[in-house]
Amino acid sequence: MASMPSSPADPSLPSGAPAAAGADVLQADGVTKQVDGAWLLHPTDLVAGPGECVVVRGPNGTGKTTLLRIVAGLLAPTAGTVTYRGRPVDDRDPATRAALAALVGAPTAYRDLTVTDHLVLVDATWGGDPAGCDARAAEMLESLEIAHLATRFPYELSSGQQQLFHLALFLQRPARVLVLDEPEQRLDPHKRAILTDILSARTESGQTLVIATHDEGLSDALADYVLELAAW
């Protein structure tokens, strides 16, 4: 895996991957975020193609989560643009929702559904064949080694189990681009290794990954490019 140091001193410089070829390119050009004059994210560029993984790193408060929210179309940038396949990214746009999956903060969860019910619901609403929903849900839980949690309600999970449940929900839906904010949070080393294997398999299958992480192991294993955000 290649790791490309960026330029923390001058965030206006292209600091992500070199331009990836092909149509399925996620591209952020000079995106910034300011709220009432305060900078949440300084000008940043990012490019990721199919099967590539860009790892976003940097100290706390440098705008990693803000960048991911912008890249996923959840937050409008103050300046700059984000496009996927040349089309502006905006989570109100069904095309964006179909292409990009984001795990930035805790996702939607219903306190009256069990873990398996959630996976079936996600799968079914994305058009998964109803006849295979149960099997796919079981397979997802097996892959994360949490099959024993299938009939638990979300509030009955520990914090690490909650994170695995959120990852299962996120990975259950189809997407071409996966955006994850510190997916290794609260996971033990074994579960981190499982997560790394799953995400590696996703990039090998052609999915694009954009991940913010403080875990060097995860970063080394997955990163094609590293985008280092600087403290200001």
Partner 1 sequence: MSDTARMHRVREVLARGGRRGSWQNAAYAVYVAVLFALFWGLPFTQQALRGVDPEPWRAAADGSSPAAVTAWFVGVVGTLAVVAWLLGRVRGPIAPDLSYIDLVVASPLDRALTLRTWWRLARFGSVIVGTLLGLVLTGAMAFIGLAGLGVLAVGAAGGMLAGIAVAWAWLLGQASARGAGRTAYPGGGRAVAHPLRRLTVSALHDQAIASRTMGGAVLMGDLRGARLAAGGRPVRGRALRLRPARAFQVIVRRDLIGLRRNPIRLVAATLTMLAGSALLCLRVGSPEASLWTSLLGAFVASAGLLGAAEGLRLQGDNVGTPPLLGIPPRHEAVAHLALPALLYAGCVTLAGTGLALAGRVSPEAMPWVTALGGIILGQALIGAFRGLAPTPVFSPGVGIPALIAWALAPGLFAWLALLVCVERARGAVQAVAAVATGAATDPASVDAAASAAGSLDAVTGALSLLGALTVGFLGWGFHRQQVQTDAHRG
Closest to partner 1 by CB, 129 or 188: 129
Residue 157, phi then psi, degrees to nearest 5: -100, 150
Minimum gap (Å) between residue 177 Cβ and partner 1 = 12
Rounded to whole angstroms, how far apart are CA atoms 64 and 147?
32
Rounded to whole angstroms, how far apart are CA atoms 184 and 121?
25
- Length of the chain, in residues: 232
Closest to partner 1 by CB, 151 or 158: 151
Minimum gap (Å) between residue 186 Cβ and partner 1 = 18
Single-letter amino acid code for the residue at 70? I
Minimum gap (Å) between residue 209 Cβ and partner 1 = 15
Closest to partner 1 by CB, 46 or 122: 122
Closest to partner 1 by CB, 123 or 224: 123
Q: How many CB atoms lie within 10 A of CB 77?
A: 24
Closest to partner 1 by CB, 134 or 142: 134
Chain contacts with partner 1 (rule: CB under 8 A): 35, 72, 74-76, 90-92, 94, 97-98, 101-114, 116-117, 120-128, 130-131, 133-134, 151, 153, 155, 169-170, 173-174
Closest to partner 1 by CB, 47 or 169: 169
Residue 184 Cα distances to 7, 8, 11, 66, 102, angstroms: 25, 24, 26, 18, 15
Token pair of 99, please? 């292409």
Rounded to whole angstroms, how far apart are CA atoms 108 and 22?
33
Minimum gap (Å) between residue 132 Cβ and partner 1 = 8
232 CB-contact burial (10 Å; exposed 0-12 / middle 13-18 / buried 19+): exposed
Minimum gap (Å) between residue 126 Cβ and partner 1 = 3
